[in-house]
Amino acid sequence: MKRVLLVFVILSIMVFAEEYKLSDIAVTGERFENTISNSSKDIKIITESEIKESGASTVSEVLKDISGIVISDYTGSGKTVTVDLHGQGDNAKKNLLILVDGISINSIDMSGADINSVLLDNVERIEVLPGSGGVLYGDQAVSGVINIITKKSKKNGVSGDIGLNVGSYNAKKYSGKIGYKNEIMSINLGYNKKDLDGYRKNSKFNMENFKLNLSIMDKIGMSYKNYKDSYGMPGSLTKDEMEKDRADALYTDYSGSPVGRTENKDNGATKTKEYGLWEKFEIGNIKFENNSKYVEKKLITDMISWGTPKSTTDSKEIADNLKFRYIIGNLKSSYGVDYKFGENRADLNKVNKEKIGAYILNDLKLTDLLKIEGGLRREKNSLKYYNDSKKADEKAYYKTLYTAGMNFNYRPTGKLYLEYNTNYRTPLTDEYLTFGKYMKDLKPQSGNNLQLGVTDFIVDILYVDINAYKTEMKDEIYYNSSSYKNENMSGKTLRTGADIILEEDFSIFTLKEGYSYIKSEITDGAYKGKEVPGVPQHKFNLILTINPVENLKIRGNLNYIGKRYAINDLENKGDKVKSYKTLDINSSYKINNIEIFGGIKNILNEKYSSTIVYSPYLYGATDKMAYYPSAERNFDLGVRYKF
């Protein structure tokens, strides 16, 4: 890996040439549209064409190609996917903020953002902002921010598409969207239905998703989403069980004599309704935008393996994001106020969480080439815990966050940037309330992030993006599998790393290489000197896209994930779990308004587990590991008609 890193560094200092990606527009870095060349942040954009070429069927499948991101899924159906940005390990879901059109979809509990509930067919582009977004977004923007931008009608008249996909494990997907636009208004409707038996027993996934968007004069609009799913949870296997039948679903039954492993039938279901309203206006040098959202969610779980009755958790969330931008001369100022209220109710317990924060972000153009940026945020998070309708506890947290950065456009195609920022995360509602016990001593975690990077176009055909970072966190919240409680880490955690991306365009084919290195360790306290579990030190991906004839594209994607300690192995007692690699190949062909596409995933038939948990008490686990096997070789085939 050191040789690979050396090759990337040598390439990065070659003679500079033509203009490329810095003119791309992004909104996540400032919450208003801005070119990448004018931002002091590391922003990565996945365009609509790149999404189509990827052959992905879900948002998480698209993100696995991004340097610095590792994807895992313990059921294998896409329902329980985790996106780990910059080595968060088991805390990945909790430390990453996911947005759709600038509005957070993170839940106030540990279930996190259901990223695959977003219709991929309705995604225009995805923006990834690694390295914290505390000042702009506040609580939970620790490892970074991912913003999913959805499509809107661009031309007058009626437009849309319908599609059908089939694949391995009896997978069937039906999708369609239709939109109408004129000079006054636009309306878009989308529908998606997916049924999947799953690679393993009891890993079925059934989903329906409906979305409506209405816009008037592109100044005011509303949205409605109705999503529901049902899914199986096959549980973990021991090494011996996995070698016997990787597709099995088992749990330890302690009720019989003798104790043994039996079929796992755990299952769950989700129902979500979401209502949105937005407004935006521009008067002279002032831009104004406001986004509001109301969400009702019901989560039903039937954990038969736990011996507990079926449970229902009802949650409600209200959010509003108000922002302004004012430009005078070389000074650009952005201001915003964010509000979010959430309620979780399960049995006799109820937890309310409320957040209100305000921020200011200024960037000043000192010369045509040099810009500096600075900002701060003040935020309050309050929590109220009720037991049997009586208030049992109340907490309030206040936090001030800072950011400072610079951006040097040393030539039209290249920029050098430097940024320092602070971040924090308050405990989620069910981190406070674990197995019916209230963790009253749990407190927020806090951290800071420093990153330095360069992007440029080299030797006419080569694009280079190099970013190095250092993130330090204090009082990081984690689940202690020994005490069965959520606690604050007694020591600090430190993550240092680098992401390197190369893209070469040779007309009939393009080549993209990505390499990520991260050292994630606990620097003091009870686990001093130990690696953060679940974090691979190396990731490498290689993507080759060929366009042999007009309208035909073939794409191969090789992903390598290095060794890491299993989740929960804070003491690094177990052996590191082995590395794995996957190769996916897909193609698409257009005939007028019809597109035919298909692919083979894991064509090398790698037998691996994206999720492995250190579990010394798992019955029959001689190596003290619980494995969640990932799918072997599988295929999909689809057709889409566009009108």
Model confidence over 290-312: pLDDT tens digits? 999 999 999 999 999 988 889 89
Using 50, 70 and 90 to split pLDDT, how confident is the model at 435?
Answer: low
User: What DSSP character marks residue 122?
Assistant: G
Q: Report how far residue 458's alpha carbon sits from residue 440's, in angstroms, rounded to the nearest whole number.
A: 55
User: Taking 60 as the threshold, does the pLDDT of residue 4 lie above it?
Assistant: no
CA distance 522 to 348: 38
Residues 583-599, mean pLDDT to the nearest whole number:
96
CB-based contact 560:523 (threshold 8 Å) = no
Considering only CA atoms, which of 43, 65, 68 is closest in space to residue 54?
A: 65
User: Residue 281: what pLDDT?
Assistant: 92
Residue keyed to tokens 């610095």 = 68
What pLDDT, on the 0 to 100 scale, is given for residue 482? 80
Q: How confident is residue 615, by pLDDT bands cut at 50, 70 and 90?
A: very high
| Least confidently predicted of 101-105, 194-198, 398-402, 597-601 | 101-105
CB atoms within 10 A of CB 159: 16
Averaged over 7-22, what is the pLDDT? Answer: 40
pLDDT at 594: 97
- Asked if pLDDT for residue 636 goes beyond 90, the answer is yes
Amino acid in the structure at residue 614: Y
Q: What is the pLDDT of residue 211?
A: 94
> Mean pLDDT across the stretch 40-49?
89
CB neighbour burial string for 487-517, b if at least 16 within 10 angstroms, e if fewer: bbbebbbbbbbbbbbbbebeeeebbbbbbbb
Distance between CA atoms of 532 and 565, rounded to whole angstroms?
8
- pLDDT score of 326 more than 70: yes
User: Does 57 or 349 have the greater pLDDT score?
Assistant: 57
Examine the pLDDT at 477 and tell me if it is beyond 50: yes
| Pick from 22, 17, 19: nearest CA to 459 | 17
As a whole number of angstroms, the distance between CA 414 and CA 506 comes to 20
Residue type at position 458: I
Whether the pLDDT of residue 151 is over 50: the answer is yes
Return the closest-CA partner of residue 239 out of 530, 566, 539, 559: 566
- Distance, in Å, from the CA atom of 162 to the CA atom of 543, rounded to the nearest integer, reads 28
Give the residue-averaged pLDDT of 102-110. Answer: 89
Residue with the larger pLDDT of the pair 254 and 602: 602
Selected residue with higher pLDDT from 161 and 35: 161
499 pLDDT above the threshold of 90: yes
Would strands 331-346 and 445-458 be described as parallel, antiparallel, or unpaired?
Answer: unpaired
**Strand 144-150, strand 96-100: pairing:** parallel
Q: How far apart are CA 643 and CA 634, in angstroms?
A: 30
Sign of torsion over alpha carbons 569, 570, 573, 575: positive
Query: Is the pLDDT score of 497 beyond 90?
Result: yes
Q: State the pTM of this model.
A: 0.92
Are 439 and 171 in contact by the 8 Å Cβ rule? The answer is no
Report residue 214's pLDDT band, with 50, 70 and 90 as the boundaries.
very high
Q: What is the mean pLDDT of residues 550-564?
A: 96
Over residues 158-201, the pLDDT tens digits come to 999 999 999 999 999 999 999 999 999 999 999 999 999 999 99
Cβ 434 vs Cβ 480: under 8 Å? no
Cβ neighbours around 255 below 10 Å, total: 8
- Tell me the torsion sign for CA atoms 43, 44, 48, 49: positive
3-state secondary structure of 507: coil
Please check the confidence at residue 54 and state whether its pLDDT lies above 70: yes
CA–CA dist 230, 115 (Å, integer): 16
Confirm if 141 and 69 have CB atoms less than 8 A apart: no
Would you give the DSSP letter of residue 634? E
Contact between 356 and 337 under an 8 Å Cβ cutoff? The reply is yes
Mean pLDDT of the chain: 91
CA–CA dist 509, 513 (Å, integer): 14
Q: What is the pLDDT of residue 215?
A: 96
Assign 2 a pLDDT band (cuts: 50, 70, 90).
very low
Is 575 within 8 Å of 611 (Cβ atoms)?
A: no
**Percent of the chain residues past pLDDT 70, beyond the cut:** 95
pLDDT at 5 over 60: no
* pLDDT of amino acid 19: 37
> What is the structure's pLDDT at 9?
40
Higher per-residue pLDDT: 248 or 12: 248
Assign 33 to helix, strand or coil. coil
CA distance 578 to 609: 9
DSSP-assigned letters across all residues of 370-407: EEEEEEEEEEEEEEEEEETTEEEEEEEEEEEEEEEEEE
- 3-state secondary structure at position 214: strand
- Angstrom distance (rounded) from CA 521 to CA 528: 8
- What integer pLDDT is reported at residue 38 of this predicted model? 78
Query: Which of 171, 97, 77 is CA-nearest to residue 137?
Result: 97
198: left (phi over 0), alpha (psi -120 to 50) or beta: left
Number of H helices, E strands in the chain: 7, 39
Give the closest residue to 63 by CA, choosing from 46, 80, 39, 40.
Answer: 46
Q: What is the reported pLDDT for 386?
A: 85
Mean pLDDT of 230-257: 92
Q: How far apart are CA 49 and CA 46, in angstroms?
A: 8
